Amino acid sequence: MSDSTPAKAASSAARQSSVFKLTFRLPIIIWQSLFFIGPLCFMVAMSFFIVRNYRMQEDFVMKNWLKMLGRDYFWDSYFLTWGLAGIGTVVTMLVAFPAAYTLAFKVSETVRRWAIFMLIIPFFTSYLVRIFSWYVILAESGVINAGLSYLGLGPFVMLNTKFGTVVGYMTLTLPLVIILQTFALANIDKSLVEAAFNLGCRPFRTIYRVILPMARTGLIIAAVFCFILSFGDFVSPYYLGGSKPPTLPILIVDTVKSGQQWPRAAVVAVVMMVTLFVVAFAGIMAAYRRRFG
Amino acid sequence: MSDNRPLRWFLYGYLALVFTFVFAPILFSVIFSFNSDRFPTIPLGSFTLKWYQTVWNDPDVWEAARTSLTVSPKSHLRSVHPILRRLHPC
């Protein structure tokens, strides 16, 4: 050890540190391959299997793909899921923006920190429990209709509608979207906003021309997260949306339950994942592109 | 823009509304847990701890709690590990 040159010592230290790094990285790599990439490949393979007498057999046939993609109800369900998740994302982004704007520009650092903390609290409570709580609030004899009846307004049907589904989606995504939007807006260079104000730019024009372009990356990432969570959500359309017509996650459950059609459910799942991958990729491209248009 | 008081108060009110939306389900699940009626409807029944007693004395609940407690550290370990790595970059 004592006769080793500094260069030698440095290279051995580097090797040691790379081994050290590897020991820390390897578990997560192994874990991801075993429990994420492995099952993913298996699911793609499974979509080519065949079911005989309610039992799945290894095979390589296109039957499941042709059956699922050839059915109208699959495409109805596909576009319904797109529509609901799309509406959910637009509504959530619009509802969240003024809140995030307030948190980013109109309150002190302390208040913002507390607000972010408060927005993390819902993640500690079960999503399912919150959905059932909405059930109580939105039901025909629920809290909102009871309140409205005092004003003489008749009971509104809010459960088992698309409105219910979107409320459910927002329960899942709104806190996260506000947090992401707040960070996106708070990272903007305030002096540029002030410059726009000093140069006589009107508030809404400032938002449109200065704030939105500068916060674009964060805002698009928030929208992508919101869409992905809504698109894959099973609980809201099932319990608050009435599950009819089914969205894709409900279709997966239905397909598995009826006749053990795991391969066809795998087809739906693969289509969903490809869709979300394309959406996420397009979103990230749009988020990190140099400028608009 | 910086001295627009009505706008500022409007935004604070809006923020309060959004927080109401986020916390309403949590709040109501707490309120209805003390409600004496079997089904959660308005108007409320009387205050009761009956449901807490029922749950406390239900062996199934304890079994389910045990399951949750065994499962959650495992998934926790898995999700926290990348965060730990970021805190201690090596």
Amino acid B71: pLDDT: 83
A7 compared with B84, residue with greater pLDDT: A7
> Residue B59: is its pLDDT beyond 80?
yes
Of the listed ranges A167-171, A233-237, B26-30, B45-49, the one predicted with least confidence: B45-49
Query: Taking CB atoms and an 8 Å cutoff, what residues of chain B touch A147?
Result: 42
Q: With pLDDT > 70 as the criterion, what percentage of chain A qualifies?
A: 94
Query: Taking CB atoms and an 8 Å cutoff, what residues of chain A touch B25?
Result: 129-131, 133-134, 137, 171
Mean pLDDT of A50-65: 86
Amino acid B39: pLDDT: 73
| CB atoms B29 and A31 under 8 Å | no
Helices (H) and strands (E) in chain A, counts: 15, 2
User: Hey, of A23, A30, A32, A136, which one would you mutate to test binding to chain B, going by the most B CBs within 10 A of its CB?
Assistant: A136
Query: Taking CB atoms and an 8 Å cutoff, what residues of chain A touch B42?
Result: 141-143, 145-147
Which tens digits make up the pLDDT trace of A115-124? 999 999 998 8
Tokens, residue A90: 């637009």
Nearest to B60 by CA among B70, B68, B48: B68
Strand partners, A52: A55
- Cβ-count burial B24-44 (b if 16+ within 10 Å, e if not): bbbebbeebeebeeeebbbee
Which tens digits make up the pLDDT trace of A229-245? 999 999 999 999 888 88
> Residue A89: is its pLDDT beyond 70?
yes
Mean pLDDT of A191-199: 89
Residue A162 C-alpha from the chain's centroid: 18
Sketch the domain layout of chain B as residue ranges: 1-49, 58-90
Of the listed ranges A6-10, A15-19, A191-195, the one predicted with least confidence: A6-10
Which among A21, A102, A134 is the nearest to B15, CB-wise?
Answer: A102
| CB atoms B90 and A17 under 8 Å | yes
User: Residue A293: pLDDT band by 50, 70, 90 thresholds?
Assistant: very low
Across the A:B interface, residue pairs with CB atoms under 8 Å apart total 87
Beta-carbon count within 10 A of A223 CB:
23
CB A132 within 8 A of CB B29: yes
User: Residue A203: pLDDT band by 50, 70, 90 thresholds?
Assistant: confident
Query: Taking CB atoms and an 8 Å cutoff, what residues of chain B touch A129?
Result: 25, 29
> Residue B77: is its pLDDT beyond 70?
no
What one-letter code names the amino acid at B43? P
Strand partners, B35: B47
Summary mean pLDDT of chain A: 88
